[in-house]
Structures are given as structure tokens and as C-alpha cells.
Chain A
Amino acid sequence: MSNAVLDAGPLIHLSELRALDVLGDFQVLYIPPVVWSEVVHHQPEIAGYIDLPFEKIEAPLVDEKLATFAKMFSLDLGEVQSLAVAANYPDALFLTDDAAARLVAEEFGYKVHGTLGLLIRAVRKGHRSSTEILEILRNLQKNSSLHIRSSLLSDVIKKIEKEWKSS
């Protein structure tokens, strides 16, 4: 079982897509209070979602390197706090949908993924059927605030459809 440190994006997007259950197999989901507040602000119903192993954890002091990258990449407070928490859990996945936060996380050597990967992974992990995930992906732009270029999303859907048909 894996642990993960969460930025707000995946929680908000998965909540919008009614797919928070795809996080169900993580052992611990670390989340700074400031990120939690941001998520609850956007998706109040998540506060009552008790089936996930959230652990709210205060971020340690932001070191100079992270502070510099935060400035360079215009990261918001939640992203910075999540990255600061991730420093204490180097084996955990870092989950974000923000490109700048993801670039910085890569710079720090973290394994980073986002909502799209979590949804597709849910089939591999047996949380959801391929049919369910394809349906979610086809309606992704209508039902969530996650922005993926339409043609790119179509290519992704075609690719995974092909993979899942052949397996």
C-alpha cells in the first residue's frame, strides 16, 4: 500500500467527478490544513467523506530552495505547504494537477501524478471498471474543472480503450 501527499487539485477534481473512492487503497493521505480548507471551500461535501485515510499534517518550515522555486513558479500557499510536507515523506506519491507544482515536485525528486492517472489506475487496482472510468473521462470536461485539451483527452481515451480491450 502506498502513501500520498495531496495538493488540492486531485481532491477537488475527484470530488467533482464523484470518484474519491479511487484513493481508497492508499494507506495514508497526508494533507496540510491549508489545502484541506481550500478543498472544503470548493467541495464542502468532502468534509463528510470519512472513508479515506486523511491525515492532516502541518507543513514544516519551508526551506530556502523550496521558497525560491515557489517564487519562480508562482506557487500558491497550498502547493508550497504540500511540497513542504512531501519533504518528510520521500517515498510517498505527490498528487497534484498543477503543472508548476508538478515541475517543482519533480525537481525535488518526488514521484508525481494527477487526477487522470488516478482514474486510470483505479481500473488496474480493481476499484472501478474500465466502462465506468471511460464514462467519467468522456464527461470529464462537463463534470469537472480539470482542464485538458479536448483533442488530447480524445487521444487518451482512444489509447486506454485500446489497451483495455487487448488485455
Chain B
Amino acid sequence: MSSLTLRSVTVRLGGRAVLDSVDLDVAERETVCVLGPSGSGKSTLLRAVAGLQEIGAGEITLGGRDLAGVPVHRRGVGLMFQDHQLFPQRDVGRNVAFGLRMRGDGRAEAERRVAELLAMVGLPDAQRRAVGSLSGGEQQRVALARALAPSPALLMLDEPLGQLDRSLRERLVVELRQLFDELGTTVLAVTHDQGEAFALADRVLVMRDGRIAQSGTPPEVWQRPASAFVARFLGFDNVVPATVTGRAATTPWGTLPVPDGTPPGPATLLVRPAGVRLDADDVARPAPDDAAEGGRGLRCQVLARTFRGDHVVLALRPERGPDLEATVPLRGAPSPGEKVTVSFDAAETVRLPPED
């Protein structure tokens, strides 16, 4: 049974559809991450579910209950705000206890639960601390404890780790994931950071202009982006228009090999950086003019190289077509200014629908 469902939910603000007929299902105990650039409507999605944003059309149900007309405070959802929104005049304990008090829990019961939650998020005995004295990571934990305290049917996170520094973010993603698994909470999170989304989610939704551009498990989305937009949003730059005929495709870079069974016709082609191979003896060998043989031997100049720990990303300027990105091993990576010849690997090439 699906815990949260949205059916053609539409929100218009100032004449623009911020959410455009969005359908969404989040199963019980599932963690779904909505990913999209800013302005794609992902925060509005959370606000609509929370009831902070009136919807123009459509239906939202939570645990089978239609939420139409249910005010915010009776929806039973938890929302962790982007910048936490801890109540500044209350200490940590009273922030976490807020939802319990609203529910009418007794003092002793609330205190027990607060202690339990604070221990769970790794801040035991922090009840008396002022929220102003907390670091960013600690505030994030308190906000999480506060959202979890009333045991919401659905926990929503708005850019949960947005303002934290990188190392803290990476650690907290893992902790959050473990926590949600333990608690069995249904989670709907939004973020613009694909690393965060892929690490956190069972399922990822990519949004564009108020519509859902793709939905799938992190590997699905990563390996088979549904459109050029999704591919570019995920950071892939080698995206070109192409015409597929048989096992080859005509592109601005020349003719490239494509995997077996690629449907023929106009398309967009994505070549992952790992699929751009430097020919071993490219400098010595004169450029062969066998473009018919799957685009082998496209000559390029190295524009820049960036170290990424165990590999190097090269920015290449080919003799024809748009710039290319290639990942190569650390050892023997060419320097900027050098000339190289590249070929393309069909296994790292993905056919996308043609761009409109």
C-alpha cells in the first residue's frame, strides 16, 4: 500500500504552474528523494503535502486519507526546514518537545521521549543547551529530532544537509540512511545535490519546471537518464544530437558506435566520460581517416585537466563538434596543450530521446 499519493497535483503561483499535474507515490517505509535545480518546484511539493501551500487542483492522500481541507497542524506530517527553523527562544529540549506538547503528551512522557530522540541523533543530554550555541550539524540533528518526535506518518526533509560542509554532509547522509532504516519511517526529501539524493534514497525523482522528468532507483537514473535535461543535470556534458542507423550513430563528433538493439532514428546521445578513451599511441600514430569505423581517432587538444583523487578529468577540444569530457587514469594523463586522439566505447554510450 502506498503511504503518500499525489494525483495530478497542480500549484499555480502568479500565473505560472510551479507544480504541473504531478503524480507521485511513496510507499510505506520508502525513502524518496526529489532532485532538481532551484525553481523546479521541489520545495513547493513538500509545502503542498504539508498544507503550507494550497493546491489548485489534484488530490493528496496520506495513509489513505484525503488531505483536502485538513489544516497544517492536523496532517500529522513532519517537515525539516531548509535552515532548520529552530525556535530561538527555547532550548534544545523544549524545541524537541514542541510537537509532543501540541499533541498533549504528559511532561514525564515528553521528557522521556526527548531524551530518547536526542540520544538517537547523537546529542545525548543536550536538553538545556541554547539553540544559538549549536553548530550547523548539531542544529540539523535537533531539527531532525524535533520533526521525528511526534512520530509523523511521513517525514519530509527540505535540503536536509544543504548548509553543512562536505565532510559533515557525507557522514550525516550515512547516519540518516541508517536511522530511517531502523525507524521504518516513510521519507520524502528534496535536494539539488545528486550525491545526497543517490546516497539517501530508495528512489529518486528528477523534477523540471514543475513536472517529474524521471523516476527510478538511483542506479537506474544514473545509468539511463531519461532525457538530455536529466543527463545534464546529473553532470554529464557529452550530450549531442545524433541519428542512429544500425550499430552506429552520426554525431557532430563523427560516427560513434552504439550498443546492440539501439532503436534507429533521430536521438540524443550521451557518452559518459569513462566512454571517451585515449588511444594508446595517439601521439606517434598519424591520424587514420577511418571515420567510418565507429569514430575511432577523433583528434583533440587538451584544454584542462582536473585531478579527482584516483582519476583525472580532461576537458578536450575536438577537431569537430562540441567540447568533450573524458576520465582517464592518473598515470600518463596528458597535460593541457597536448594533442590526443580519442575513440568512443559503445558500452558507455546511452541513447536518449531527441531533444525538442
Are A and B part of the same complex? no
Q: Which residues of B contact A (CB under 8 A)?
A: none
